[in-house]
Amino acid sequence: MTDTSLFSSYALGDLTLANRVVMAPLTRNRAGAGFVPTALMADYYAQRASAGLIISEATQISQQGQGYQDTPGIYTPEQIAGWRAVTDAVHAKGGRIILQLWHVGRVSHVDLQPGGAAPVAPSAIRAETKTFVNNGFADVSEPRALALDELPGIVEDFRRGAANAIAAGFDGVEIHGANGYLLDQFAKDGANHRSDAYGGSVENRARLMIEVAAAVANEVGPQRTGIRLSPVSPANGVATSDPQAQFDHIARELKKLDLAFIHVVEGATGGPRDIAPFDYAALRTAFGNSYIANNGYDRDLAEARLADGSADLIAFGRPFIANPDLVERLKAGIPLAQIDPTTLYGGGAKGYTDYPAAPTPDA
What confidence tens digit (pLDDT) does each residue in 95-150 have? 999 999 999 999 999 999 999 999 999 999 999 999 999 999 999 999 999 999 99
Which residue, among 18, 106, 10, 33, has the nearest Cα to 65 in the 3D structure? 106
Contact 240, 201 (CB under 8 A): no
CATH number for position 66: 3.20.20.70
Q: How far, in Å, CA of 210 to CA of 20, rounded?
A: 27
Using a cut of 0.95, tell me whether the model's pTM lies above it: yes
Q: In which domain, by residue range, is 246 found?
A: 10-343
Distance of CA 348 to the CA centre of its chain: 23
Q: DSSP string of 233-255?
A: --GGG---S-HHHHHHHHHHHHH
Contact 205, 241 (CB under 8 A): no
Q: Considering the domain boundaries, does residue 140 fall inside one?
A: yes
SS3 category, 163: helix
Q: Considering the domain boundaries, does residue 17 fall inside one?
A: yes
Q: Name residues of the chain where pLDDT drops below 70.
A: 1-2, 361-363
At residue 362, the pLDDT reads 53
Q: How far, in Å, CA of 167 to CA of 161, rounded?
A: 10
> What is the DSSP pairing of strand 290-294 with strand 136-139?
unpaired
Q: Considering the domain boundaries, does residue 80 fall inside one?
A: yes
At residue 363, the pLDDT reads 39
Which residue, among 229, 363, 205, 203, has the nearest Cα to 283 in the 3D structure? 229
Q: Considering the domain boundaries, does residue 236 fall inside one?
A: yes
Q: Considering the domain boundaries, does residue 69 fall inside one?
A: yes
Per-residue model confidence as pLDDT tens digits over 70-81: 999 999 999 999
Q: How far, in Å, CA of 84 to CA of 167, rounded?
A: 8
At residue 31, the pLDDT reads 98
Q: How far, in Å, CA of 61 to CA of 17, rounded?
A: 27
Domain count, the chain: 1
Active site positions, annotated: 181
Q: Considering the domain boundaries, does residue 350 fall inside one?
A: no
According to DSSP H, which parts of the chain are helical? Answer: 39-47, 77-92, 151-167, 182-187, 202-220, 243-257, 280-287, 299-307, 319-322, 326-332
Determine phi and psi for 21, rounding to 5 degrees: -90, 120
Q: Considering the domain boundaries, does residue 363 fall inside one?
A: no
Identify residue 181 by its one-letter amino acid code.
Y
Q: Considering the domain boundaries, does residue 5 fall inside one?
A: no
Distance of CA 177 to the CA centre of its chain: 8
